[in-house]
Chain A
Amino acid sequence: MESEQVFKAVADHHRRHLLDSLAQADGQTLTQLCASMPMSRIGVMKHLNILEQAGLITTRKVGREKLHFLNPAPLHNVDAWLTGYRRLWNERMDRLEDLINRTQASEQPKEQNDAET
């Protein structure tokens, strides 16, 4: 299943870091990508390979350099899967928070009155 491969690819924080890095500056070389990774070149290549197999990055050879490009398309399914539920949950919690604040606000004057009497 394709989306499973995508899930596995983004489940690792080093690979998410690589995607973030490409989201900020697309078309980086292996050397550039290695600069911010706490591991060997071979380790970074291994992670890039997994991302490429999941379709999350594409590569292009320009002269002797291999450039890496972010391809967010496979994330769309994953995004759609979670967004609706997350939105619903967040709204529910927003409303609950509002209600609790209102309830607390209306209870406070009463407590003050009780304390005074």
Chain B
Amino acid sequence: MPKRNLVAVPNQHSIIATCFFNAPRDLIFKVMNDPETIPEWWGPRVLTTVVDKMEPWSGGSWRYVVSNTKGDEWAFHGVYHTIEAPLQTVLTYEYEGLPGKVSLETTTYEDQEGGTLLTTTSVFQSVEDRDDMMQSDMQEGGNETMDRLEELLTSMQVRS
């Protein structure tokens, strides 16, 4: 099994990402749901992530603001639907730059031999919403060279 996988099936509403960590489930759940540690991993390294609000309980809300040194800001917010430590979280997710394109993000933490399998499934309201999100999501811009054909083709593998 690959350590990481990101699948966005053409013509479907979802993105499924998995990652295996060689660490206990409790620890992973803790660092991913703690306002103290969110700034250390949630956003890109070159940007600063600030937790504006984080109420990790059912019905609570969250808002993170990501900024660069020039003062540009990108904000994200949503509401927690389920927090079931250390098994799963279900929350809504909205990028304020694309208002109304709300997705539902379910993260499960699975105890496996030697570590924990993290699976995040984001379900968008339409295929178009998903594709807009993937294109706008803090993309640094600039064209990647197209020399890694194999990597690209692997990423296109469709799960049916």
Contact = CB atoms under 8 A, between A and B. Distances in A.
Contacts, number: 106
B21 A97 contact: yes
A16 interface: yes
B23 A80 contact: no
Contacts of B102: none
Contacts of B143: 76, 80
Nearest to B160: A11
A28 to B, nearest CB: 15
B153 A19 contact: yes
18 contacts: A4-B11, A7-B156, A10-B156, A20-B149, A72-B146, A81-B134, A82-B134, A85-B134, A85-B137, A92-B41, A92-B43, A92-B44, A95-B41, A95-B45, A96-B32, A100-B28, A101-B23, A103-B31
Contacts of B41: 92, 95-96, 98-99
B87 interface: no
Contacts of A86: 6, 155
A103 B157 CA distance: 35
Interface residues of A, number: 38
B118 to A, nearest CB: 8
A45 interface: no
Nearest to A15: B153
A57 to B, nearest CB: 13
Which one of B11, B15, B19, B140 has the greatest number of beta carbons of chain A within 10 Å? Answer: B19
Interface residues of B, number: 40
Q: Chain A interface mostly helix, strand, loop or mixed?
A: helix
Contacts of A79: 144, 146, 152
B158 interface: yes
Contacts of A91: 44-45
Contacts of B15: 85
Which one of B8, B37, B146, B156 has the greatest number of beta carbons of chain A within 10 Å? Answer: B156
B93 to A, nearest CB: 13
B27 interface: yes
Contacts of A78: 152, 156
Interface string B23-60: 10001100110000100111111000000000000000
